[in-house]
Chain A
Amino acid sequence: MNESYKIISSSILFWFSQKKWFVYSILVSIFLLNLSTPIGLSVPAYHSLIILVLVFMLVTFEPIPFPAIALLTLVLQVVLEVAPPDQVASSFMNDAVLFVMGSLMFAIAIVHQGLDIRLARSIVFIFGKSKRMFLAGLMSISAILSSFLGEHTVIAIMLPIGLSVIKNIDTQQTDGKNAVLITLFSIAYGTIIGSIGTPSGGARNVIMINYLQEFSNVHIDYWKWMKHAYPILIIQLIVAYFVLQFAFPSSLKNIKMRGYKKNVENRSVKKDINHLFSCLIIIAIIASWFTFNDIYGLGIIALGGALTFMIFGMITWEEINKNTNWGVILLFAATISLGFQINETGASSWLVIKFNELLNSLPSNSMNVSWSIMAILSGLTANFFTSSATVSLIGPMAIELHPTDISFALSSAIASGFSFLTVISSPTAMIIYSTGLVSTKVFFRVGILMFIISILILYLMSQFYWVTL
């Protein structure tokens, strides 16, 4: 057989084996495009839903880079006549996208300052009386910080602390293995749970606030979100503490709380000033989110934080540029743009009508059933598709279910933050998994319990607490 033919066919096959989900996604889209448009749905609305299916498949299986998916989403919106180019362009950039960009840059700037050493010392000082108190402290501090600064910032700061206290533990014995797992899970669950607490805890929260403002003209400020979400966070934290004690029973005798002692002693005046200044910037940014978010928006304030660090020479642009995930920013911008078109074209209304028709066919149809399906669907989708992308695509439907009742939209956004099931669901889960100390099976086994309890807590709070606000 001709050698060049063999090389070419082998290269094509390798490309296919790596990109087969891209080929399948395109084939599914072509198949759907050739079907007749469903009754009650306009052609642009139908096309927007086909792009939604395509994006779901491409983001789930990642056969092509995220920036390519983002560009494809924009191109298809125009080519398939979902919206004119100007409309697509204008929906591509908004405060939620600026927030994603700003919070990623801000996170890199904070992590760069090396605050973990100081934080470790504080945690040992406050919670160092016993090892169980120390773990509870790790979890609570992770949650509080994550609620304001976001998961990716906090896990990057807290993981070195966690790894330093468990670094000499022998994982061959069950007691040692459980001590390692309970430490890592305390940080991970604290970080994940914390991210629901305030709008700045996760991009999904900001995306939902933006959607509510645009689609229902309902405004939720920083305080209002906290009043709804923070009590859930506190209850979840208490539950998570006991779930982890139950899942990973350990004497904790090998945990060395002073694992950071050596590093803490290597202090310098310059570092101290840097840390002090970093803390002031962080406090100023959080205070601005509380007080000025109505005027400036959360995104601009987050960008302001990154900008301050750069202006004062505490981080270089090169460092920020190297570590910022521009692909994710582009992808979120594109999915938010698609979310807007799904709403504008009436596709979300059509889906909600179909959803309600399905509910009517059930023997017991009530608000509770539709709430439960929506919350569980949001939570499950987020676990396989990541939370922010889920909210940007499912958010319009959640709002459309009950446009005037914010509990549906809030529940959808909060349930999307329950990333307890899979390691791909959030940066925290992926980072913990990447240590090689936590398997996907263990993550799922403990996570399923946390997921079910969290949905229950959310339900009870939305029924009995939110109505009092």
Chain B
Amino acid sequence: MKILIAIGGKEFSKPTLDLGMKIANSFKSSTTIAYVGKKISQFSEKDVSVVHQNLDDRQLYRPGIRTLEWAYDFLISKKYIEETDTNKFDDYLLVDEENSRMKVLLKEQYSDNIDLIMRTGEIIEQLKDEVEANKHDITIIGGGGNKGIHNKLIQFIDSAVFVVKNYSVSKKYKILLPVNDSKGSEKAIDTAINFAKSYKLTVEIVAVYENKKSHEKTDKLLLRTKNKFLKNKINASTKILEGSTVNAIVDHAKDDSIIILGVSPKNPIMKYFFGSKPISIAQKCNCPVLITK
């Protein structure tokens, strides 16, 4: 499994980095920590590039490196990386790659591989490029900032998207798994099983009675899903919610929930202009949300 963790400002990225690395360690996955620098106007992009090269030559940190250094120190402080004499950040090697991508390769302790990379440009375009080029399975991003970014990520990025909103290291989380009969929901169930197993989390499976005529089908789905979890020796419970799907799930979710949802099967054009239930849930709820694809 390959995980991409997108970080921004130092103070807001701690929870994202922490949760991201925990997931990476549980799944023993290779991890890329990406900092996407601000887009530079085409008028000045070459001038900025010349200045940054100059800063490198003078051993003055180029912008973005400070954030990556902070991320590196954070990984060391949390023992995700063991610092040795040979892998100090002072001796970092910046590898200038194509398409505005720069890489700092580091030795690490627990995961198969941790890459620190820096990109410059429009964030969605850069993360999409990163996911496509390196075939990441999950993109993890903080919940702050512009909500439109999350919508576009969910819509356009070819990986599962984990929006880390209001995450606290000290809290004991449980998985909230809304299900229906869509293909996306099946994928979400598989992911929830993996997560629950790795973290030993309890799972609450919920379904919403959207119209009162079709209760039987929903009840069967809930039971079938619960059995899947029980077979994997995961503690799972079920609950029926009523009302509109989005509001019912948002109201039911607590601060200690991690919501795992499947991507909407809706037509992409409809999703772009009118949104979708998973996007609305990710927008409205105040806890981490993972949308699987």
Interface residues of A, Cβ cutoff 8 Å to B? 1, 6, 9-10, 13-14, 17-18, 62, 65-66, 104, 108, 111, 114, 116, 152, 155-156, 159-160, 163-164, 167, 263, 323-325, 327-328, 386, 424, 426-427, 430-431, 433-436
Contact = CB atoms under 8 A, between A and B. Distances in A.
Contacts of B58: 116, 160, 163-164, 263
A152 B44 CA distance: 9
Nearest to A162: B60
B51 A155 contact: yes
Nearest to A163: B60
Contacts of B61: 167
Which A-B residue pairs are the 3 nearest by beta carbons? A430-B44, A325-B46, A427-B47
Contacts of A17: 124, 152, 156, 272
A1 B156 CA distance: 17
Contacts, number: 108
29 contacts: A9-B268, A10-B156, A18-B122, A18-B124, A18-B125, A62-B41, A66-B43, A104-B46, A114-B57, A116-B54, A116-B58, A155-B47, A155-B51, A156-B51, A156-B54, A159-B51, A163-B60, A323-B49, A323-B50, A325-B42, A325-B45, A325-B46, A430-B44, A430-B47, A430-B48, A431-B47, A434-B52, A436-B63, A436-B67
Contact of A13 (B63, B128, B265, B269): B269
B275 interface: no
Nearest to A263: B58
A108 B64 contact: no
Given A164-B58, A434-B63, A436-B63, A152 B47 contact: yes
| Secondary structure type dominating chain B contacts | helix
B79 interface: no
A114 B58 CA distance: 10
Interface string B55-88: 1011011011011000000000000000000000
B267 interface: yes
A160 B54 contact: yes
Contacts of A427: 43-44, 47-48
Contact of A424 (B41, B49, B51, B67): B41
Interface of B: 37-38, 40-52, 54-55, 57-58, 60-61, 63-64, 66-67, 122, 124-125, 128, 152, 155-156, 265, 267-269, 272
A1 B267 contact: yes
Given A9-B267, A14-B156, A164-B58, A327 B50 contact: no
A13 B55 contact: no
A434 B37 contact: yes
* Residue of B38, B40, B44, B46 contacting most chain A CB atoms (<10 Å): B44
Contacts of B48: 427, 430-431, 434
B47 A160 contact: no
Nearest to A389: B43
Contacts of B44: 424, 426-427, 430-431
A434 B62 CA distance: 9
Contacts of B42: 62, 65-66, 325, 327-328
A325 B47 contact: yes
A116 B55 CA distance: 11
A328 B43 contact: yes
A321 to B, nearest CB: 11
B64 A323 contact: no
Contacts of B156: 10, 13-14, 17
A10 B47 contact: no
* Residue of A66, A163, A433, A434 contacting most chain B CB atoms (<10 Å): A434
A431 B51 contact: yes
B43 A324 contact: no
Nearest to A6: B268
Given A18-B122, A434-B48, A13 B268 contact: yes
A10 B124 CA distance: 14
B54 A111 contact: yes
Nearest to B66: A436
A159 B61 CA distance: 12
Contacts of A116: 54, 58
